[in-house]
Amino acid sequence: MKILLYNPDNGVTRNFMPHLWMFLLQSLTPPEHQVLLIDGNAKPLTEEELVQFIRDEEIGLVGIGAMTRMVARAYRMADAIRAVGVPVVMGGPHVTEAADEALGRDGGPRHADAVALGEADETWPRIVADAARGQLKEVYEPVDETGKERKPSLTPYPSIPWETLDLDQFNLVPKIARSFLERHGAGWGTFHMVPIESGRGCPYGCEFCTVTGFFGDSIRFRTNESVVDELLRLKMRARKNLGQIAVFFIDDNFAINIKRTKSLLRDIIAAGAQLPWTAQISANLLRDEELVDLISASGGRWIFIGMESIDPANLADVNKNFNKPGEYAAVLDRLSKRNIYAITSFIFGMDNDTPGVADRTLGEIANWPPVLPVFGQLTAFPGTPLYARLGAAGRMTRPRHWMDFAPFKMAHTPLKMTIEEAQAEVDKAWRTSYSAKSNEKALQAIADRRIDDRLMHLVARLFFRGIYFPQLTKLDWTKLVAQNRRPVWKLAREAFGLYRASRKNGPRAETLTRPLQS
């Protein structure tokens, strides 16, 4: 049987990285079946185009996974696929909490033939076997013989064959630049951001987060050996393709067990398996100097920190008072000294927020080393304690907000501001943070750093701006580069000069071509 795994985009936001679940389920599929992957973020398709593809390829089963904000589109795609008689199984965090909605048991239309609840590592082979026999069940649940929920162990962990997978749709180098860079870019013809997990689960239980409920509060880790082996294979592929690979450790809190994280990072260093990597780590765990040294030595470049708010009352409200706003600056300095930068995430519209929250937050950020800030509004996802609390208090204005996805618009009313005010604060924070002036200022603050690091910073800032101001066309990008022409021109001139010097003087000159792989 031919199987298609499909991840929808939502037409508004695009991910820069493929989803791990597709590669994981592909690796867990019995070898007699063939699995194709399409990520709508990399390859946007209409319903008609997707159905045509499914017909042309004679696909016998389609698996769709979606976050809440993509699920309305996932349902539309599923409806079109089922209309031509191909069965659809859905999985992921949203349908796990809203299985009745996907199966049409809530009075609405049915979108899926079957749903996979929770982690599907162990149920997927069963789903495939049932589908091949034409006997799909409606619900697949990871339970043991007694009916108790069973979380899959990550030891052993499937070996995702990155070295042979077709990753073309996920190449981040724009098509127009590829042939030039292949010839002159010393290893920059392709650039892939690859998701890897080293563990699952988080015990912290922040009120707005689905992770503790979905993956559980006990953490499961892969062995160091299996993670190191995956990195080495990726590194080999990057060398073979003369391309670049960076890794995103998608663990929810990569340093949740500091002792174990240090041991993994030491093993990565010892094996020479360093690739540039990004991970999510909460600020409280970054107090440890030795950990930050190991992050740096093992290839860590960008750390995503869920700061959420600079107001301790807000943090207490959402059960995240292990975050201490008073130490944010010190944490960021500690990282920056080692040339590691932070993606700092903030949530506006919390119950203690008032108009002016953007200015107050931007004021704090101005005192920090340059960061990539991202701003969202408090959103209640189904299955979270926040969703239950707001629902019980009758505060949800759009209880099924996902069926009518409106980016950056709250679905409940905060206590001390209106929904429109919260939206205006988010807008202000994005506009100010990614204006051409702010980009220039951020680059000035790291003017003493290597050209590669400054270039990476500028490119990252241009991409991150796109989270709020979607940059989907060539025209969008042209305008953006024109707005940022001063730093772009300055860096391009400097880089070109160094490139020419390095060709003339050999490898001793600082060059643009330092490979990302250490």
Residues that bind ligand SF4 (CB under 6 A): 202, 204-206, 209, 211-212, 252-253, 282, 306
The count of chain residues that interact with ligand B12, using the rule CB under 6 A, is 35
The structure tokens listed for 313 are: 């009352």
Distance CA 315, CA 324 (A): 9
Residue in 4, 15, 196, 286 binding ligand B12, rule: CB under 6 A: 15
The reply to whether 252 sits near ligand B12 by the rule CB under 6 A is yes
Query: Residue 29 or 280: which CB sits closer to ligand SF4?
Result: 280
Q: How far is the CB of 16 from ligand SF4 (least distance, A)?
A: 20
Taking the C-alpha atoms of residue 276 and residue 289, their distance in angstroms, rounded to an integer, is: 20
Q: Which stretch binds ligand B12 (CB under 6 A): 43-51, 86-94, 220-228, 229-237?
A: 86-94
Q: Using the rule CB under 6 A, which residue among 40, 54, 69, 346 binds ligand B12? A: 69
Q: How far is the CB of 119 from ligand B12 (least distance, A)?
A: 3
> Which is closer to ligand B12, CB of 100 or CB of 290?
100
First and final CA of the chain: distance in angstroms? 42
Select from ligand SF4, ligand B12, none the partner in contact with residue 253, using the beta carbon and a kind-dependent cut-off of 5 to 8 Å: ligand SF4
Both structure tokens of 414: 């905060």
Tokens coding 45: 């398709």
User: Which stretch, 49-57, 84-92, 158-166, 474-482, contacts ligand B12 (CB under 6 A)?
Assistant: 84-92
59 vs 256, beta carbon nearer ligand SF4:
256
Q: Are 220 and 154 in contact (CB under 8 A)?
A: yes
Are β-strands 199-200 and 220-221 bridged in parallel, bridged antiparallel, or unpaired? Answer: antiparallel
At residue 89, the 3 state secondary structure works out as strand
Cβ 269 to ligand SF4, closest distance in Å?
Answer: 26
Contacts (CB under 6 A) with ligand B12, residues 309-368: none
Tell the burial category of 64 from Cβ atoms under 10 Å away from its Cβ (0-12, 13-18, 19+). buried
CA distances from 482 to 40, 177, 489 (A): 29, 18, 10
**Which partner, ligand SF4, ligand B12, none, binds residue 94 by CB below 5 to 8 Å per kind?**
ligand B12
Residue 282 contact partner, candidates ligand B12, ligand SF4, none, CB within 5 to 8 A by sort of partner: ligand SF4
Rounded to the nearest 10 degrees, how much is the dihedral formed by the CA atoms of 410, 414, 418, 423?
-40
**DSSP three-state, residue 191:** strand
Q: Which is nearer to ligand B12, 206 or 291 (CB)?
A: 206
d(CA 99, CA 112): 9
Q: Are 354 and 416 in contact (CB under 8 A)?
A: yes
Instruction: Rule CB under 6 A: choose which of 63, 187, 199, 299 binds ligand B12.
Output: 63
Cα–Cα–Cα angle for 197, 125, 114, nearest 5°?
100
- Interacting residue ranges for ligand B12, rule: CB under 6 A: 13, 15, 17-21, 24, 63-65, 67-69, 89-94, 116, 119-121, 124, 195, 197, 209-211, 215, 250, 252, 376, 381
